[in-house]
Copies of this chain bind each other. A is one copy, B any other.
Amino acid sequence: MRWIRFSINDKIQFGLLDENDQVLPVRGDPFGHHEKTGERLTFSDVTLEVPIIPTTFYAAGMNYADHVVAVAKRTGTDAKLPESADIGYRANNALLAHGRDVLVPEDAGPRIHYEAELVVVIGQKAKHIEQRDVPSVILGYTIGNDVSERDWQKSDRTFWRGKNTDTFKPMGPWIDTQFNPGGAKTTIRLNGAVQHEFDTEAMIFGISHFISRMSRYLTLWPGDVVWMGTDGTSPNLQHGDLVDISISGLGSLTNRIVRLGATTP
Chain A residues near B (Cβ < 8 Å): 53, 55-56, 61-62, 82, 84, 86-89, 91-94, 105, 127, 156-158, 160-161, 164-166, 214, 216-221
- Bound state CA distance, A165 and B86, in angstroms? 12
Bound Cα distance A53, B219 (Å):
15
Contact between chains at B55 and A92 (CB < 8 Å):
yes
Residue of B nearest to A83 (CB): B157
A219 to B221, alpha carbons, bound, how many Å? 24
Q: Given B82, B93, B219, which contacts A93 in the complex, CB threshold below 8 Å?
A: B219
Q: How many angstroms between the C-alpha atoms of A18 and B56 in the bound complex?
A: 33
For this chain, the copies found in one complex come to: 2
A157's nearest neighbour on chain B, judged by CB, is B86
**Do B55 and A93 have beta carbons less than 8 Å apart?**
yes
Chosen A-B contacts, 27 in total, with CB atoms closer than 8 Å, are A53-B55, A55-B92, A56-B91, A56-B93, A61-B157, A82-B157, A84-B156, A86-B157, A86-B160, A87-B158, A88-B157, A88-B158, A88-B160, A89-B89, A89-B91, A89-B158, A89-B160, A91-B218, A93-B219, A93-B221, A94-B218, A127-B166, A160-B217, A160-B218, A164-B217, A165-B218, A166-B217
